[in-house]
């Protein structure tokens, strides 16, 4: 299997969708995943509920049954596990793609465990690996985290939550309900209007009541072991603090794209260059699927609107194979 038609980098939902289409098209393929299956979903907060309904997350004509209209993280992990098992998708877990080299008729991919030669590559690496850093003194202190799993470590603690989007709001509400003293810091004048519609009134009411303190139009100047120094509209202010949960978002790892020569736009979004008709990048034979297509604009692509990338890519690969055979 080390000499294959397609090597898929990323074993998230979109990587699995690409594997399904490759299976249906009788292509030899391998999916490399540097962590566990659907690693990004695994790293979501334990009690997270999806914005999408379960049927929009379905793939491969396998029904996604959930207890409520909006599925949970655990339900999604189980669903995609069953998808992988049903199609016997060739996923290599805990195997990281490290080096891609262009060959005359394809590519050589060196992973942490093996070397592959493939005629085509699909990059579907998501964006949950690298947090957007605040670049402030003290950000590397042990009490600062850019990831959140569950509220139990923060019972009775003074928590500062940075951000005003879905993740920050979920963290603030969940830790407050488990007994944390919660303060939110947002650079904008209000909570993000894209917050889940059933959660937005909850956080706004908690802030209005004063149960959760909130600083708007505010940034962090410095983090110390016992405080956080804020730049507020009224001037500098020091807040006592035990933990900082920086829900500042994440960004794609552009390393593999740059390594193989995929062009990135020079604007603030750094969107990779690709053909929307077939998802092929400016490097022939290298395709992009899923949220990686948006670059730093991580709000444009989701599971439900990226599943179609898999079909477009495999259709184009089969077209190329047919041309080459004539």
* Domain encompassing residue 120: 3-130+250-325
123 and 142 housed in the same domain: no
Domain boundary among 227, 246, 265: 246
User: Pairing between strand 243-246 and 144-145?
Assistant: parallel
| Alpha carbon distance 112, 264 (integer Å) | 26
Contacting residues for 320 by C-beta, under 8 A, at least 6 apart: none
Domain boundary among 203, 218, 246: 246
20 and 126 housed in the same domain: yes
142 and 119 housed in the same domain: no
| Alpha carbon distance 173, 3 (integer Å) | 50
Half-sphere exposure of 45 (CA within 13 A, CB side): 22
119 and 139 housed in the same domain: no
| Alpha carbon distance 318, 256 (integer Å) | 24
208 and 259 housed in the same domain: no
Domains in the chain, number: 2
Q: 35: buried, middle or exposed (CB in 10 Å: 19+, 13-18, 0-12)?
A: middle
140 and 122 housed in the same domain: no
The answer to whether the beta carbons of residues 299 and 139 sit under 8 Å apart is: no
The answer to whether the beta carbons of residues 258 and 264 sit under 8 Å apart is: yes
220 and 280 housed in the same domain: no
Give the CATH number, domain containing residue 154: 3.50.50.60
254 and 125 housed in the same domain: yes
151 and 81 housed in the same domain: no
Which residue bears the tokens 């259709």?
315
Q: Using the CB atoms, write b or e for 63-76: b if 16+ within 10 Å.
A: ebebeeeebbbebb
Domain boundary among 246, 280, 296: 246
113 and 232 housed in the same domain: no
Q: What pLDDT shows up at residue 300?
A: 82
| Alpha carbon distance 28, 22 (integer Å) | 7
221 and 77 housed in the same domain: no
20 and 117 housed in the same domain: yes
Per-residue pLDDT 10s for the chain (326 aa) are 578 999 999 999 999 999 999 999 999 999 999 999 999 899 888 988 898 899 999 999 999 999 988 999 999 999 999 999 999 999 999 999 999 999 999 999 999 999 999 999 999 998 777 888 999 999 999 999 999 999 999 999 999 999 999 999 999 999 999 999 999 999 999 999 989 889 999 999 999 999 999 999 999 999 999 999 999 999 999 999 999 999 998 888 888 999 999 999 988 888 999 999 999 999 999 999 999 999 888 778 889 999 999 999 999 999 999 888 87
Q: What pLDDT shows up at residue 1?
A: 54
């Amino acid at each position: 299997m080390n000499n294959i038609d397609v090597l898929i980098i990323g074993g998230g939902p979109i990587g699995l969708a690409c594997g399904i289409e490759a299976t249906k098209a009788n292509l030899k393929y391998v999916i490399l995943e540097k962590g566990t299956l659907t690693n990004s979903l695994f790293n979501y907060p334990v009690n997270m509920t999806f914005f999408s309904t379960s049927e929009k997350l379905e793939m491969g004509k396998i029904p996604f049954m959930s207890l409520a209209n909006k599925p949970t993280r655990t339900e999604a992990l189980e669903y995609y596990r069953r998808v992988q098992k049903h199609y016997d998708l060739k996923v290599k877990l805990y195997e990281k793609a490290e080096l891609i080299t262009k060959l005359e008729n394809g590519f050589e991919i060196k992973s942490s465990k093996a070397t592959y030669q493939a005629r085509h590559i699909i990059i579907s690496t998501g964006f949950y690996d690298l947090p957007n850093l605040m670049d402030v003194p003290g950000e590397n202190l042990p009490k600062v985290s850019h990831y959140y799993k569950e509220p139990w470590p923060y019972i009775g603690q003074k928590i500062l939550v940075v951000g005003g989007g879905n993740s920050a709001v979920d963290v603030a509400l969940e830790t407050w309900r488990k007994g944390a003293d919660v303060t939110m810091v947002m650079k904008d004048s209000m909570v993000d209007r894209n917050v889940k519609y059933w959660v937005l009134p909850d956080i706004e009411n908690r802030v209005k009541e004063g149960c959760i303190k909130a600083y708007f139009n505010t940034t962090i100047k410095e983090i110390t072991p016992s405080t956080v120094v804020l730049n507020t509209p009224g001037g500098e202010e020091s807040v006592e603090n035990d933990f900082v949960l920086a829900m500042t978002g994440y960004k794609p790892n552009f390393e593999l794209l740059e390594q193989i020569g995929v062009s990135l736009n020079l604007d603030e979004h750094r969107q990779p260059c690709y053909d929307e008709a077939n998802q092929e990048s400016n490097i022939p034979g290298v395709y992009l699927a899923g949220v990686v297509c948006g670059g730093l604009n991580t709000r444009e692509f989701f599971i439900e609107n990226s599943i179609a990338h898999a079909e477009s890519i495999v259709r184009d690969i089969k077209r190329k194979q047919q041309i080459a055979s004539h």
